[in-house]
Amino acid sequence: MEHIRTTKVEQVKLLDRFSTSNKSLTGTLYLTATHLLFIDSHQKETWILHHHIALVEKLALTTSGCPLVIQCKNFRTVHFIVPRERDCHDIYNSLLQLSKQAKYEDLYAFSYNPKQNDSERLRGWQLVDLAEEYKRMGVPNSNWQLSDANRDYKAAICRCSQPLSGFSARCLEDEHLLQAISKANPANRYMYVMDTRPRLNAMANRAAGKGYENEDNYSNIRFQFVGIENIHVMRSSLQKLLEVNGTKGLSVSDFYSGLENAGWLRHIKAVMDAAIFLAKAIMVENASVLVHCSDGWDRTSQVCSLGSLLLDPYYRTIRGFMVLIEKDWISFGHKYSERCGHLDGDPKEVSPVFTQFLECVWHLTEQFPQAFEFNEAFLLQIHEHIHSCQFGNFIGNCQKEREELKLKEKTYSLWPFLLDDQEKYVNPLYSSTSQKPAVLEPNTVAFHFKFWRNMYHQFDRTLHPRQSVFNIIMNMNEQNKQLQKDVKDLESQIKQHKNKQTDGVLTKELLNSVRPESPALKTSLCLKEQTLLPVNDALRTIEGSNPADNRYSEYADEFSKAEPAVVSSEYGVARMTC
Amino acid sequence: MYPFFYRPMFEVIEDGWHSFLPEQEFELYSSATSEWRLSYVNKEFAVCPSYPPIVIVPKAIDDEALRKVATFRHGGRFPVLSYYHKKNGMVIMRSGQPLTGTNGRRCKEDEKLINATLRAGKRGYIIDTRPLNVAQQARAKGGGFEQEAHYPQWRRIHKSIERYHILQESLIKLVEACNDQTHNMDRWLSRLEASNWLTHIKEILTTACLAAQCLDREGASILIHGTEGTDSTLQVTSLAQIILEPRSRTIRGFEALIEREWLQAGHPFQQRCAQSAYCNSKQKWESPVFLLFLDSVWQILRQFPCSFEFNENLLIMLFEHAYASQFGTFLGNNESERCKLKLQQKTMSLWSWVNRPSELSKFTNPLFEANNLVIWPSVAPQSLQLWEGIFLRWNRSSKYLDEAYEEMVNIIEYNKELQAKVNILRRQLAELETEDGMQESP
């Protein structure tokens, strides 16, 4: 709290990003130890976690006040106008401090208190048990991963970091290990080694004494470069994408050329293609695959986890997905804290590697809408929490660090938190019957990849469809379950009634059991509500309550009559009015 | 041509040729206002060859005046009523461009006509779908725009909706890009962008929203025209009605809209939909104007999935039939030609087929919930999408998407079933309860 000089500022305006300057809400801004809170004149609350803040900017002073722009790691952008420059400056400085923690212990997870006792906390951590998972896969020892779909074929996905081969070094043990891997698969004489880097990069690494396996030295190995760019390219790609998204008065041309220029979808496709190659090698060729990149914790994680998702339906369930993340990301040492910038560290280590993985999964849910037990909100919520530092799962950069920080004793696990709210994350179209494909074979022709508006504009509600079909179906599905219960209930009551009648006895209790309002009445009223995407609760508003005007174009300049412009903005607002 | 030989294999319950007669449509307005009348001045198609025989004009203007105005507007297309907004009595009128030419010619009857739609002391808006410089250049060819001096109560707004071969080329480029099936992301995005298709959609939607805004928000009447008043004009008037009027979002209302604003209004379907994107020879008048309209409707449908009684399939079906059909509805360029061809007698109407219950079920939107709201779509690039149902239809498998849609329909049907069942059971229980109640009291 010592960083906070001003804890409350009144008469602050919150601008709507997608309309012109005179559309804004006025309210009060509060600064707490963990959050920024804005309450507007309609009592609507907007909460922003300090940990989520990626960038704070003070813009040039205007007549209406001092603008403060905050960009968050979950892609929310808020634009405040603070009436007094001094207040703005104070908040700006406070936010700079609060958003960049120096120590792990200052992160939210270490102070977050959901009021559970120690044994509940521990049980939470034990919910996802990797030992159980390896048993499920049928693996005898913990050095091997066997894909469940191929138990019969014994093909395996393996991972490691790059060999330190330089230009001529060999390692007999390494060669024997790979031989052993290969031999462990009786179905195929050869195995693949997938290097997820572009070929040029791998060769360049040779000069530094690293590099890639020399095929001559490893018999029965087929080599495959799959060309996924490095973390710096990805960071820059996302940066460019966000710049396009934030452009005011964006034309269709600029949007698409911006997308192309950023290259973001190209990278997503590269990851997806690599995972497909992996899955095909396993399924079609029954070959084992060894995957590596430079360090083994970025692209390797992406490819292995995505590949597993394609192959094994278990990972497409809610629990299975949690297990997948624990297995292929957390336990294998993806450097979450560095990649997500949890602490004030090296900005060159920050990179949206996990975000890309989530986006690939989203693309799969779009192509195979019935194959996943979870919905988009699940992915968005996980993304929210890799940055929020509210839970201990993603804190630290490897298992060793996590143990040193004593995360299991001092913080809580995200997974039980999500499981408790499971009904929000269930895909109502999920079919667990045999009709769904066991192995997914996505089509990666370029036009299948779409811009993930719900992720990158999650908080820009005006851009989204006014009614979420998904939410409606989800609610209906829930309602159906309730209605089914009601039917059973009513049927049994009627039966009881009839029995009593034939007995000729009618007790008061039976009369009373009919009186209370049937829950069916309540649920049928719920159908009228049309809710938006289940995003951050703080942003939920009532339909049609936004009085913002629609302005659709620039007014003709040649009219000299000084009358207020009818139309002045490029952005429409998806809304209903009476 | 096929429609002349086609014999329907189904029972005709309702004759689509008579489903949406102008007099019936007018009745919907005449209950609300007495300021308008039906005019039969064009019943021989002598005054305006591309207009229908019956049009709606201000009551204060007589047929003689209309004849004079027709000489001042391109193609004889004098301003007529397109839509009456019941909420505040404001209207959308449409016409061809005024033939002011380089001499600054004027027509007092034309001014009187459109001024008749204004309330005392209020002004109106003229939305010219051409950019100002294009409108100015039109004067050299005898066309032009309404000058402020002669139309002081009207403010002019210029938009920039493309026309003719530019749209056709846009479609060809888009279709080529979609058929490319490339794995090169940059190539796909750059070809998509270069086609400019979505740019056109954005411009059309924006103009329609502007028109709707003038009526609903500004409480002002508007006149819309481009050059001929048969292309961009109709896109704007019909889309504005989708935004403003819930009836246009019902199946019958939408059919009536197409009848009024496209077929009877004289959109030259024969010229525009002669060949399609795959033909090699460039037809001069070929242009996907109607498809752009359908795509725009689809964009709004996607943004307001519960506000339309019909689904995407209806739009796709209309697109197909505009180009090639066993029905006579889209034949010809205007009512005059359709009469000459005796289509009503010799061919079947599309609506006769569509409105049969067995067909309607394919086109009905299971999520529809009737409302009487004005809906305002977002025109940001992030909100507009490629219409995969049309452009990627044959290029990708829709098997999983179709199955998911089926499942969604099942959930909705099941929900209705359960609700009905619960109601029946509750009533049963209540009856048993009252019986017992009667038994209990002596």
Torsion sign (Cα): A331, A334, A339, A344 = positive
> What DSSP assignment string belongs to A503-523?
HT---HHHHHHHSSPPHHHHH
- Comparing CA positions, the residue from A234, A458, A266 lying closest to residue A354 is A234
- Residue in B132, B401, B436 closest to A501 by CB: B436
Whole-number average pLDDT of chain B: 92
CA distance B229 to B80: 11
Residue B10 CA to chain centroid, in angstroms? Answer: 28
CB atoms within 10 A of CB A142: 9
Angle, helices A299-311 vs A318-325, to 10°: value is 150
Torsion sign (Cα): B273, B274, B278, B284 = negative
Burial class (CB in 10 A: 0-12, 13-18, 19+), A388: buried
Beta bridge partners of A25: A14
CA distance B235 to A343: 54
Tokens of A229: 């760019």
- Write down the pLDDT at residue A569: 32
Contact (CB<8Å) B303/A574:
yes
User: Which one from A293, A340, A360, A389 is the annotated catalytic residue?
Assistant: A293
% of residues, chain B, pLDDT over 70: 97
- Comparing CA positions, the residue from A266, A295, A443 lying closest to residue A359 is A266
In A, minimum Cα distance to B205 occurs at A552
- Write down the pLDDT at residue A518: 39
Tokens of B27: 């009745």
Stretch B378-392: mean pLDDT? 95
Stretch A368-381: mean pLDDT? 96
Q: B70 and B78 in contact (C-beta within 8 Å)?
A: yes
Q: Give the 3-state secondary structure of residue A61.
A: coil
Q: How confident is the model at residue A514 (pLDDT cuts 50, 70, 90)?
A: very low
| Cβ–Cβ contact B149 with A under 8 A | no
Contact (CB<8Å) B433/A520:
no
Per residue in A111-139, pLDDT tens?
Answer: 888 888 888 888 888 888 877 887 887 76
Element (H, E) at A95: helix A85-99
- Comparing CA positions, the residue from A67, A457, A448 lying closest to residue A255 is A457
Spatial neighbors of B30 by CB under 8 A, at least 6 apart, are B36
Q: How confident is the model at residue A208 (pLDDT cuts 50, 70, 90)?
A: low
Optimal mutation site among A546, A550, A554, A558, interface B, most CBs of chain B within 10 A: A550
Optimal mutation site among A447, A477, A484, A485, interface B, most CBs of chain B within 10 A: A447
- Comparing CA positions, the residue from A168, A290, A298, A173 lying closest to residue A223 is A290
Residue A544 reports pLDDT greater than 50: no
Strand ranges in A252-321 using DSSP code E only, listed in sequence order: 288-292
Q: How many CA atoms lie within 13 A of A116 on its CB side?
A: 18
B positions 225-264 inside 8 Å of A (CB): none
- Residue in A251, A369, A483 closest to B419 by CB: A483
Residue A506 reports pLDDT greater than 60: no
Active site residue A160: no
- Write down the pLDDT at residue A519: 39
Contact (CB<8Å) B188/A447:
yes
Q: How confident is the model at residue A248 (pLDDT cuts 50, 70, 90)?
A: confident
- Residue in A250, A263, A449 closest to B380 by CB: A250
CA distance A525 to A531: 13
| Residue A299 backbone phi and psi in degrees, to 5 | -65, -35
H helices within A368-421, ranges in order? 376-388, 399-404, 407-410, 414-420
Question: Going edge to edge, which strands form the sheet with B154-158?
Answer: B80-85, B90-94, B222-225, B124-128, B154-158
- Write down the pLDDT at residue B222: 97
- Residue in B181, B367, B392 closest to A472 by CB: B367
A positions 346-375 inside 8 Å of B (CB): 367-371
ipTM above 0.85, yes or no: yes
Tokens of A290: 């060894």
pTM of the entire structure? 0.87
% of residues, chain B, pLDDT over 90: 75
Q: How confident is the model at residue A436 (pLDDT cuts 50, 70, 90)?
A: low
Residue of A205 and B43 predicted with greater confidence: B43
Q: Give the 3-state secondary structure of residue B36.
A: strand
The size of chain B, in residues, is: 442
Q: B197 and B171 in contact (C-beta within 8 Å)?
A: yes
